[in-house]
Amino acid sequence: MAPSRPRRLQQLPPYLFVEIDRAKRVAAATGKDVINLGVGDPDQPTPKFIIERMHSAIEDPKNHRYPFDEGVPQFRRQVAEWMNKRFGVHADPDRQVLTLIGSKEGLAKLPLAVVNPGEAVLVPQPGYPVYNAAATFVGAEVHAMPLSAGTGWLPDLDAIPPAVAARARLMYLNYPNNPTGAMAPLAFYEQAVAFARRHGLVICQDAAYSELYFEQPPPSILQAPGAFELAVEVFSLSKTFNMTGWRLGFAVGNEQVLAALAQVKSNMDSGQFNAVQEAGTAALAGADRPEVRALLDVYRQRRDTLVDGLARLGWRVERPRATFYVWIRCPDGADSMTTARRLLEEANVVTIPGVGFGPAGEGYIRAALTVPAERIAEAVQRIGRVRF
């Protein structure tokens, strides 16, 4: 008899993409030309200067041993330098920076470092599913903070019931936002820091998309006065440098929270390969290089192709100012599963139903700009032939 799954796994929300996944596999297996706007995984290669640094790093025997617990010192120093240059934020590389095995790893382990079973975790919805899972795994109560167009996809902190705020220990935020593409102004971070101080919360701001922006660069929560007292911000090299497979991210912020997270990590993992951190050091040092910044023009062109094309067809869609996601209103009378299923079956275009990001995502689908503009134009043409 197969062992039954423990409650923490049974408690996770049902996997809503089963039907879409099945239809996608059937379409591909029958030789259909499927355009996949589902996954947020960059299609471009990692820039050459990073790969070249990896070649030399991998030859160096000092990189062949166990990584340092809190990360390679040069990488952490480069992070601190980048934070200063990019945001004007001063972080001590020895105490306020921690290397992560991709940002997901830090986001997922953070509740183990700061939350007791039975305490509440505030999670944005629609949102990246990892926050909910991570809070569930530590036996916390998950309290969804609904995001909606009316508030610019920012949570309404005043709507959090005082009793929930009193039991809450951690609040996740994510700007620029997946799946909505929204950005948060510094004034919102200031309010969030004030709220967290009032209620004794830790804030974890997920900045995985901080460098994928089309207009003004997004601020860091650590620019808000007092943020270092209670917040950590989690960054990723995945999307900025097309390095999703390399698994490298970092957390910056409150020293005690990072020390607790480092303690969790030292009991559960042994850090990221030093050579990857050395290549990541080169990546961050080269963040302003033309081949890195050129990526934004690629995504901008794709975004405009999709948004303008769908708008011409009468779809209601906002032009995101950041991320490589477009959050699209479903046609009247169609829910997100139906919309995504029909686009797949009738246009061979894969999108993600908004409800997969939690019930508050209902009424929308998400498209990722991770295929060439010509393919996006083709997807728009095909979508135009589907009658809702």
Ligand X SMILES: Cc1ncc(COP(=O)(O)O)c(C=O)c1O
How far, in Å, CA of 93 to CA of 98, rounded? 8
Can residue 353 be called a binding residue for ligand X (CB under 6 A)?
Answer: no
Binding mask 53-92 for ligand X (x = CB under 6 A): ----------------------------------------
How many Cα atoms occupy the beta-carbon half-sphere of 368 within 13 Å?
19
Where does this chain touch ligand X (CB under 6 A) — which range of 68-76, 100-108, 252-260, 330-338? 100-108
Tokens of 147: 């995001």
Among 78, 220, 236, 336, binds ligand X (CB under 6 A): 236
Determine the Cα–Cα distance for residues 9 and 309; give it in Å rounded to an integer.
41
Pick between residue 249 and residue 309 the one whose CB is nearest to ligand X: 249
- Do residues 361 and 126 touch, judged by C-beta distance below 8 A? yes
Residue 5 has φ and ψ, to the nearest 5°, of -75, 145
Which amino acid, 153?
W
Residue 356 Cβ vs ligand X, minimum distance, rounded to whole Å: 13
Among 42, 67, 71, 102, indicate the residue that binds ligand X (CB under 6 A): 102
Q: How far is the CB of 195 from ligand X (least distance, A)?
A: 21
Stretch that binds ligand X, among 72-80, 97-105, 270-278, 334-342 (CB under 6 A): 97-105
Q: How many residues bind ligand X (CB under 6 A)?
A: 13
CB of 206 to ligand X, least distance (A): 5
State how far the alpha carbon of 13 is from the alpha carbons of 88, 94, 326, 356, in Å: 40, 38, 24, 9
Quote the distance between the C-alpha of residue 221 and its chain's center: 15
The separation between the first and the last C-alpha atoms of the chain, rounded to the nearest angstrom, is 47
Token output for 111: 């509740």
Binding of ligand X at residue 172 (CB under 6 A)? Answer: no
Site stretch for ligand X (CB under 6 A), options 44-52, 65-73, 236-244, 294-302? 236-244
In the complex, minimum distance from the CB of residue 313 to ligand X, in angstroms, rounded to a whole number? 27
Please state the φ and ψ torsions of residue 297, each to the nearest 5 degrees: -70, -35
Nearer CB in complex with ligand X: 205/336? 205
Residue 249 touches ligand X, criterion: CB under 6 A: yes
Under the binding rule (CB under 6 A), the answer on residue 244 touching ligand X is: yes
- The correct pick among 75, 82, 87, 128 for binding ligand X (CB under 6 A) is 128
Stretch that binds ligand X, among 99-107, 153-161, 273-281, 366-374 (CB under 6 A): 99-107
Q: Nearest-5° angle of CA 64, CA 67, CA 73?
A: 115
Residue 79 beta carbon to ligand X: minimum distance, rounded to whole angstroms:
14
In Å, how far are 105, 183, 200, 216 from 97, measured between CA atoms? Answer: 15, 24, 22, 25
Q: What is the CA radius of gyration of the chain?
A: 21
What is the spatial distance between Cα 243 and Cα 42, in angstroms, rounded to a whole number?
A: 8
Interface positions with ligand X (CB under 6 A): 40, 102-104, 128, 174, 178, 206, 208, 236, 238, 244, 249
